[in-house]
Structure formats: C-alpha cells, structure tokens
C-alpha cells in the first residue's frame, strides 16, 4: 500500500493494549449503600478504530485513554478522553469507535445497573 509522500507501509494495524478482539471484560464502579463496588462489564461488540490520515502521513503512533459509563442496557454513555499521546491526534478515531461499542447489560445481584467510570486504553501502532 503506498501513501502520500512515498511512505510505504507493509501492514497497518490498530492494537488495543489490554483489549482483544475477543469478548473482554472491563472494570467500572457502581454505588451501593454509599460504597463504590468494582464490577466487570463484558464487551459484546468492539467497533474497529480507523487510523487517522495525519498520523499515517507522519508515521505517528500513540494511545488514547477514554472514560465512560455503561448503561443498564449495555450502551456506552458520555465517553470522554482522559489522556492521549500525542495530544489530540488519535482522540477522534478512538471516540468514534468507542461510541459504537456494546456491552453485555450489567447486572448486580440480579438487578440491571449502570456502571460508571469504565476506562479503556486504545493503542495505535503502524507495523
């Protein structure tokens, strides 16, 4: 594959550090009787992120840490970027992907719950 300015890349992959294409559980918190309880939320669908053109052109790699809540229906709610390196370069691609993710509806003691403060790190690498 040949890109502008003669950059030739044999393969391109977006690697999710700590995340796999297989079903994966992330961690978040629920509040019960004033106490925060850590709970696993299981990913059912993980939309692939696209590599930003600018990052390809500059042959840049990096990561984005995103925090969000998971609704009692398994939808991602209110994602926002906590950190990214290089700052701002991969944020849009990460957010576009994460907004499409779907989780197994979280349940605590048989009751559907919203899980808060789930954090994931997406790592972007050119190989």
* Per-residue pLDDT tens over the stretch 97-113: 999 999 999 999 999 99
Distance (Å, whole) CA 114 – CA 125? 32
Give me the pLDDT at residue 125, please: 93
Strands (E), the chain: 12-15, 25-32, 35-45, 62-70, 76-85, 102-103, 107-108, 111-112, 115-126
Per-residue pLDDT at 6 exceeds 60:
no
Q: How many angstroms from the chain centroid is the CA of residue 14?
A: 12
Fold of 4-126: TolA/TonB C-terminal domain (3.30.2420)
Sorted by where each begins, the domain ranges of the chain are 4-126
Q: What average pLDDT does range 39-54 have in this prediction? A: 95
- From the list 58, 73, 68, the residue with the least C-alpha distance to 122 is 68
Give me the pLDDT at residue 80, please: 98
Per-residue pLDDT at 18 exceeds 80:
no
pLDDT band at 55 (very low <50, low <70, confident <90, very high): very high
């Amino acid at each position: 594959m040949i890109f502008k300015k003669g950059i030739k890349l044999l393969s391109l992959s977006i690697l999710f550090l700590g995340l796999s294409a297989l079903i994966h559980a992330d961690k978040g918190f629920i509040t019960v009787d004033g106490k925060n309880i850590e709970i696993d939320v299981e990913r059912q669908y993980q939309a692939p992120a696209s590599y930003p053109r600018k990052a390809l052109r500059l042959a840049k790699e990096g990561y984005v840490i995103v925090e969000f809540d998971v609704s009692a229906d398994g939808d991602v709610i209110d994602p926002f970027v906590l950190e990214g390196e290089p700052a701002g370069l991969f944020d849009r691609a990460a957010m576009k992907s994460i907004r499409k993710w779907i989780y197994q509806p979280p349940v605590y003691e048989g009751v559907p719950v919203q899980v808060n403060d789930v954090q994931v790190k997406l790592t972007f690498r050119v190989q």
